[in-house]
C-alpha cells in the first residue's frame, strides 16, 4: 500500500497535480466539518450544499455512498452509529504508519472510503433517551437518510410522521431493498440479493455457466448515486415550497433503470437475454485477451469492418483478413472461440500496454486492463484527478476516488477523512444540542453514547 501510494504520488507530482494531503487532525474542535453550518454567501470555496445538514442513519455500502456524495457537495453530514456499530478489534484495516496508534476500528478501509467528509457520533436510538436525542438532531437538520428494512424506523419510533413532528420541513430519504410497500417489501437484502431479483445476475456470467454475482458492488453504487440525486431534487422542492417530504428510493428501482433494454426486449419481442461473458450482440471481437505477464489483459472491441481489417492485418496478416470464418461480424460471432484463440496467440506474447498502443495507433478500440497500481499512475486518471490523496490519521496519505462528475462553478474536493468512532460526540452533543458535561457523562454511563465501540452482549 505505501509503495503504491508513493509511486502514484510521484507520478501525480510530475504531472503538475498537487498531492498535498488534507489535514489528518480530526479533533471536533478543529475539524472544518465539525463547525455548525450556517450557510455561505458564495465565493471560490463555496460548495452547492453548504448550509445543508444531513443525518446519515445508514450502514453497509449503498447508504454511505449516497451520503458521502452529499458531503462532497458541501453538506454537513453527521453519521450516527450504534455504540456497537464497529468491532472493537476490526479486520480489513489499513497498515499503521510509523509512529501511529494501532486503533483498528478507525482504520477500516471500506468504512473510511465510504464515509469520508462526515462527522461521527455514537447513539443507541433503540432506547428512549437515544430516540429523544435523535429527534433533537432531526429538529436541527434538513435531511435524514436511512437504509434499513421498512419496519425498522417505525419500530424505533422514528417513522416519517415522528420525524415530521420534530421538524415539519424534514426530508426523509429511505433506501429499502424492495420498497416500502408491495409483496416484497418485507424482504431484506444487500446488493447481491437485489442483483438476483432484478435480473442482473441472470445476465452476468458465461454462456456455459450459471448466473453470477457482478464483480463489483454494482447495485450499491447505483443506488447511492440515485439516492443522492433524489435528495437534491427533494431539497430543490423544499427550497421553492418550504415543504419536506418522504423520498422512497428502493435499491431495486435504481437497478431497473440500467436493465430497461433487456426488459423491453422481452416485453416487446419475446426475446430473453442470456449470459454472454464479455460478448456483445453486435460487435465481434468484443472481449478481453490475455497478455504477457501475471494476470495481464487487454480489452478489444471491434465496431466496424474497417476496424476488423486493421486488427486482422496486425494479428495475422492477409491470411486472417481473408479467412472466410471471420468475413462478417455475424461470422465472427459464430466462430468467436476460434477467433479468440487466434487473437490470444498474438496478444499473449506482448505487454498489455504495448498491445493497447499498437491497436489504437491502427484505429482499433483497445485498452489495457489496469490493476490498482496501474490505475493510480495512469496518465489519463492522473490528468482527470480521479483520485485525491487524503492524510488518514495513523495510516498516512491514502488515495480516495473522487465523485464521477465536475462542477464548473464550485470545487468539490474531499474535505476531510472519515470520522474516527464517536470523534464528534462533544461537538454535536455539547456544542450543537447544548448538553452539559454531566448529562453527556450520564449517557455514557448508560452506554446510550460511547467513546469506543461496545462489544454486543453475547459476543
Q: Which residues are catalytic?
A: 220
| Contact between residue 368 and residue 298 where contact means Cβ atoms under 8 Å apart | yes
Residue in 264, 228, 272 with CA at minimum distance from that of residue 405: 228
Task: Give the H or E element holding residue 258.
Answer: none
Q: Judging by beta carbons within 10 Å of its beta carbon (0-12, 13-18, 19+), is residue 300 exposed, middle or buried? A: buried
- Burial code (b: 16+ CB inside 10 Å, e: under 16) for 386-417 equals ebbbbbbbbbbbbbbebeeeeeeebebebbbb
Compute the distance between CA of residue 440 and CA of residue 179 in angstroms, rounded to an integer. 37
Neighbours of 107 (CB within 10 A): 24
Compute the distance between CA of residue 149 and CA of residue 174 in angstroms, rounded to an integer. 9
CB pairs under 8 A, 24+ apart, for 107-112?
107/392, 107/394, 107/395, 110/61, 111/64, 111/86, 111/418, 112/392, 112/398, 112/417, 112/418
Amino acid at each position: 500500500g505505501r509503495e503504491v501510494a508513493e509511486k502514484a504520488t510521484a507520478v501525480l507530482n510530475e504531472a503538475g497535480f498537487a498531492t498535498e494531503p488534507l489535514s489528518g487532525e480530526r479533533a471536533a474542535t478543529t475539524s472544518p466539518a465539525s463547525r455548525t453550518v450556517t450557510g455561505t454567501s458564495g465565493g471560490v470555496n463555496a460548495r452547492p450544499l453548504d448550509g445543508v445538514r444531513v443525518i446519515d442513519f445508514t450502514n453497509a455500502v449503498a447508504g454511505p455512498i449516497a451520503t458521502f456524495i452529499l458531503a462532497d457537495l458541501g453538506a454537513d453530514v453527521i453519521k450516527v452509529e450504534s455504540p456497537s456499530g464497529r468491532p472493537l478489534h476490526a479486520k480489513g484495516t489499513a497498515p499503521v504508519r510509523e509512529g501511529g496508534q494501532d486503533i483498528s476500528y478507525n482504520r477500516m478501509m471500506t468504512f473510511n472510503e465510504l464515509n469520508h467528509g462526515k462527522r461521527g457520533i455514537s447513539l443507541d436510538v433503540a432506547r428512549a433517551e437515544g430516540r429523544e436525542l435523535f429527534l433533537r438532531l432531526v429538529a436541527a437538520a434538513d435531511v435524514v437518510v436511512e437504509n434499513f428494512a421498512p419496519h425498522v424506523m417505525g419500530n424505533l419510533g422514528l417513522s416519517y410522521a415522528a420525524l415530521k413532528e420534530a421538524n415539519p420541513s424534514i426530508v426523509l430519504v429511505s433506501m429499502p431493498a424492495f420498497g416500502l410497500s408491495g409483496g416484497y417489501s418485507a424482504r431484506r437484502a444487500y446488493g447481491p440479493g437485489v442483483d438476483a431479483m432484478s435480473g442482473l445476475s441472470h445476465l452476468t456470467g458465461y454462456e456455459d455457466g450459471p448466473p453470477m454475482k457482478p464483480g463489483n458492488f454494482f447495485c450499491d453504487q447505483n443506488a447511492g448515486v440515485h439516492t443522492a440525486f433524489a435528495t437534491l431534487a427533494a431539497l430543490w422542492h423544499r427550497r421553492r415550497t418550504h415543504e419536506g417530504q418522504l423520498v422512497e428510493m428502493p435499491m431495486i428501482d435504481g437497478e431497473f433503470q440500467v436493465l430497461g433494454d433487456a426488459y423491453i426486449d422481452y416485453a416487446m419481442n419475446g426475446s430473453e437475454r442470456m449470459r454472454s461473458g464479455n460478448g456483445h450482440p453486435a460487435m465481434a471481437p468484443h472481449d478481453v485477451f490475455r497478455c504477457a505477464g501475471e494476470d495481464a489483459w487487454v480489452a478489444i472491441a471491434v465496431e466496424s469492418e474497417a476496424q476488423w481489417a486493421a486488427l486482422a492485418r496486425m494479428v495475422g496478416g492477409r491470411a486472417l483478413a481473408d479467412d472466410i470464418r471471420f468475413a462478417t461480424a455475424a461470422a465472427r460471432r459464430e466462430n468467436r472461440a476460434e477467433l479468440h484463440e487466434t487473437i490470444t496467440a498474438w496478444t499473449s506474447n506482448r505487454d498489455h500496454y504495448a498491445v493497447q498502443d499498437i491497436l489504437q495507433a491502427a484505429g482499433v478500440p483497445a485498452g489495457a486492463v489496469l490493476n490498482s497500481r496501474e490505475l493510480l499512475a495512469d496518465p489519463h486518471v492522473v490528468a482527470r484527478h480521479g483520485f485525491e490523496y487524503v492524510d488518514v490519521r495513523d495510516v498516512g496519505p491514502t488515495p480516495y476516488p473522487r465523485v464521477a462528475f465536475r462542477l464548473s462553478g464550485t470545487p468539490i474536493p474531499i474535505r476531510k477523512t472519515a470520522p474516527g468512532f464517536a470523534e464528534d460526540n462533544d461537538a454535536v452533543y455539547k456544542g450543537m444540542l447544548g448538553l452539559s458535561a454531566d448529562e453527556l457523562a450520564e449517557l455514557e454511563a448508560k452506554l446510550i453514547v460511547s467513546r469506543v465501540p461496545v462489544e454486543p452482549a453475547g459476543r
